[in-house]
Structure 1
Amino acid sequence: MPWLARSRPLFPAALLTASWWGKVLEGGRAAPRNGRCVMAPVRAVVRLRRRVCLQRKRRVLGPPAGPEAAVAAGAPGPGGGSPGQPRFFTFDDPAALPARTPRKRRRRSRVVLYPDGARRCRPRAERRSSRAQRCLLLLVAIVGFQVLNAIENLDDNAQRYDLDGLEKALQRAVFGQPAAVARIVALLRDYLATHVHSRPLLLALLGPSGVGKSHVGRLLAGHFGAVLEDRSLVLQYHAGHHCPEARAVQLCGDELERSVADVVARAEAEEKTPLVLLDQVELMPGALLDRVLGLLQPQRPHPFQNAIYVLLSGAGGAEVTRFVLQNVTRAAPGETQDEAHAGPRAHQTDMELRAGLRALLAGAHPLWQAAAIVPFLLLDRHSVVSCFQEEMAGEGFFPEQARAERLAAQLSYYRVAGHEFAVTGCKQVVAKVNLL
């Protein structure tokens, strides 16, 4: 039977029949005389095959439309059916029943497996950045560029005044004042880092006579006049010369305000910071100091806020002398003044002296309260000898060490704990050298 071999469900029955015939051929048992034992399995196999074919047709074509189709398909009719098949009863019209559509199988998405040596990258749709991300990156780039440009502009504004060159010039020409030179340069560097300010810079160089205050003022005036390329942007006001006692204080105040207004207006037009030097401030009366304090008020126009005022005064000289002589024991024996002020105790000593000077001068006039005080200390003998050598070289003499020491020995000194400090500093150096 070829149909029996081609049908998959019939394979177990065929195998059973073949095994039975094998036993018969082997002679183990005699075949039964009745043929019903042989045909019963064959009928069951045929019945199973028909039922499987009917189920397949129902799945593909759907349920039958009427009783005739059901009978043609092998289903039981209204009067009865084949034994072993159940009957289905329904009260609905077969025409009203919806047609059964074949059920679609849902495909599962296959998992993409990457080889071990392959390069993995995201799909292009995921790599695309949104517009918000692009705008954010552009904003960050713009802000970073503006910050970098601002930093470069600060450096350019500070380089215009060549503060490094000013510091070298002060260290080379000013003897015995390393702390004062460092503080002046630091204050100028912080102020000149930008051109726009909310208040002017007021420096007060205080100390006894002959310690180098006027010399530093001349160096500052010469340096700013050179770097600004305009000498008119540097105003030098000498109280003993521009406002003698015979003149009225009101006229002196008006003249000073006009000069300062002219300088700051010219400097604002050129986008530069002017320098105003006021020498011998201790000789100014209180009314004139009030006019100077009025120039520093925030109510003044914007050009007045971008200016540097330097006050050169001998006020507080006695306090500086007393402080130096009382604290001379802090320095080690044989240590020069430059070495003492370059040590770790220099900063603390300088802060104590500035606090004492501010407390002393604040009661005299409020102008000193608004100033950054820079004290100039007494000069020891080594610094006085350096002053003689510098002046001798400037006058055309050979700066011999022995001759400079002989000239320095002619001056008066404070002698405390093995240290010698000149009473008049380098004030008489020029007169002594002119006698050579």
Structure 2
Amino acid sequence: MLSLMTRSNKMLVVRRSVIQLVSMFLFNSFQRVECVFETLVCTISERCDCDFKPNIRGLEWDLYKNLYGQHLAQDIVSEEVSNFLLKENPDRPLVLSFHGASGTGKTMVSSMIGRHLFGTAMGSPYIHQFVPTLHFPLADRIQQYKGELKRWVQGNLTACARSIFIFDEMEKMPPGLIDIVKPFLGPSHAVFGTNYRKAIYIFISTVGEEVINRVALETRQAGKEREEIRLVDLEEAILQAVFNNKQSGFFQSRIIQEKVLTSVVPFLPLARCHVERCAHRELCQRGECKRNDVAEAVGGAVAYMPVHGRHFSSTGCKSVPAKVNFFL
């Protein structure tokens, strides 16, 4: 009797094992078929899901390796983008506002985000850049621009929920225009019939640089490290500066007033050591990594501010390629 029960138990175990093996085989087969089908669809058609291949680790590494002197931007962008992409269905779009002087890395970081999400900096059809002097040059056509911008954003979101919108030179944006995109930036499920919560918006501006530069200078004069500067030391002052500046695209903006920005991202002014690192990177791209003499010469040739102290580069790293050409 015991022998029969043992054989029965063994048969039950074998039966379960066979079922598990068959289930695993079918599951893996379905996965392979699904993968092949997805590959085939992506080969014969254009879909943003096919191009959207986020590499969060790659973005973090790129930020920490190639962005100099910007601990706030490194930490904020890494954390916000990572948290946003980890959500299958985010409750609102990611809205970042970059502020700081020219040449401090704002445009470079926006390119990094595009490159590590869509595999290309600005070449993807799902990354859209707006430049006020190019797209909105005439102040008397604000109403026309509002209609065009609303339709453009809505149309691109319909084509790709993962679209990235970059608004450059916000200090040159006609006041009042940017508020037309405000309904797309909040937590509502859909606006104008379009689900838009997976999109990313990046605003780039030099407005607020006076606040950032002042805090950086005061920190240095107090004998503290720039890494001691925190977002809380800058955020409110930057928001006040852009909201009250009549030359800012965010002047009296509902986007600021109703606090729909995910985060303000300050870019600090660069010291000479950062300029020399930019020069060294430029030299390495030209196969001249060993020319430390050129990097030092570039660092010495850049204009610095304030006049008494010469702590920070007046142009960031923007003039570095031209200086390298001169000294190389």
TM-score (norm 1): 0.55
Matched, 1:321 2:210: no
Q: Secondary structure at the match of 2:83?
A: helix
Q: Indicate yes or no: 2:218 matched with 1:366.
A: no
Q: Kindly tell me: are residues 253 and 392 of structure 1, through their superposed partners in 2, closer, same or farther at Cα, counting changes over 3 Å? A: farther
1:301-380 maps to which residues of 2 (within 5 A)?
301-332=193-224, 340-341=226-227, 345-346=228-229, 349-363=230-244, 364=251, 365-368=253-256, 369-371=259-261, 372-380=263-271
CA RMSD of aligned residues (A): 2.7
Q: Which residue of 2 aligns with 1:263?
A: 156
Please say if 1:179 is aligned against 2:72: yes
Residue deviations 1:169-215 (CA, integer Å, cap 9, x gap)? 12222111122111111011111111323322210010111111111
Inter-partner Cα distance in structure 2 for 1:214 and 1:275:
14
Return the match for 2:285 from 394, 406, 417.
Answer: 394
What secondary structure is seen at the aligned counterpart in 1 of 2:143? helix
Write the distance in 1 (CA, Å) between the matches of 2:55 and 2:118. 12
For 1:186 and 1:274, how far apart are their aligned partners in 2? 19
Structure 1 unpaired stretches of 5+: 1-158
2:30 maps to none
Shift of 1:417: 9.7
Paired position in structure 2 for 1:432: 323
Counterparts of 1:259 and 1:195 in 2: how far apart (Å)? 25
Equivalent pairs counted in the alignment come to: 262
Instruction: Indicate conservation of the 8 Å contact 2:154/2:194, yes or no.
Output: no
Distance across 2 between alignment mates of 1:246 and 1:352: 35
Give SS of 2:311's match: strand
Asked if structure 1 preserves the Cα contact closer than 8 Å seen for 2:273 and 2:299, the reply is no
Aligned-residue offset at 1:374: 0.7
Q: Does structure 2 conserve the Cα–Cα contact (< 8 Å) formed by 1:381 and 1:421? A: yes
- Aligned identity (percent) is 27
Partner of residue 153, structure 1? none
CA contact (8 A) 1:174 1:212 kept: yes
Q: Matches of 1:361 and 1:280 in 2, distance apart?
A: 13
Contact 2:102 2:315 in 1 (8 A): yes
Amino acid at match of 2:164: L
Query: Secondary structure of 2:185's match?
Result: coil
Quick one: distance in 1 between partners of 2:54 and 2:234? 30
- Please give the residue correspondences for 1:284-299 in structure 2 after superposition, counting only pairs within 5 Å: 284-297=173-186, 298=188
Q: What's the secondary structure of 2:119's corresponding residue?
A: helix
**Take 2:277 and 2:266, find their aligned partners in 1: how far apart are those partners?**
20
Name whichever of 352-361 and 280-289 sits farther off. Answer: 352-361
1:214 to 88, 92, 107: 107
Give CA deviations for 1:45-86 in whole Å, capped at 9, x if unaligned.
xxxxxxxxxxxxxxxxxxxxxxxxxxxxxxxxxxxxxxxxxx
Q: Which has more radius of gyration?
A: 1
Give the distance between the partners of 1:396 and 1:160, measured in 2 at CA: 30
- State how far apart, in whole Å, the 1-side matches of 2:241 and 2:281 are: 35
What is the rounded CA distance, in whole Å, between the counterparts of 2:129 and 2:310 in structure 1? 36
Displacement of 1:290: 1.6
| Map 1:21-420 → 2, pairs under 5 A | 160-226=53-119, 231-245=124-138, 248-268=141-161, 273-297=162-186, 298=188, 300=191, 301-332=193-224, 340-341=226-227, 345-346=228-229, 349-363=230-244, 364=251, 365-368=253-256, 369-371=259-261, 372-414=263-305, 420=311
- Cα deviation for residue 231 of structure 1 reads 1.7
Please report the TM-score for the alignment, with normalisation by the length of structure 2: 0.72
Give CA-to-partner distance per residue, 1:148-179, whole Å, 9 cap, x none: xxxxxxxxxxx951111111012222111122
Following TM superposition, by how much is the alpha carbon of 1:387 offset from its aligned partner in structure 2, in angstroms?
A: 0.6
Q: For residues 307 and 76 of structure 2, what CA distance do their matches in structure 1 show?
A: 27
Per-residue CA deviation, residues 298-329 of structure 1 (Å, 9 max, x unaligned), is 36145222211011111111111111112213
Opposite residue 289 of structure 1, the aligned amino acid is I
Structure 2 portions without partners, runs of 5+ = 1-51, 245-250
Give the secondary-structure state (helix, strand or coil) at the position aligned to 2:81.
Answer: helix
Cα distance change of structure 1 residues 210 and 330 upon mapping to structure 2, 3 Å threshold: same
Contact 1:320 1:377 in 2 (8 A): yes
- The corresponding residue for 2:33 is none
Mapped partners of 2:254, 2:137: distance in 1: 23
Secondary structure of the corresponding residue to residue 374 of structure 1: strand
SS in 2 for 1:378: coil
8 Å contact 1:203–1:374 — kept in the other structure? yes
Residue in structure 1 matched with residue 314 of structure 2 by the alignment: 423
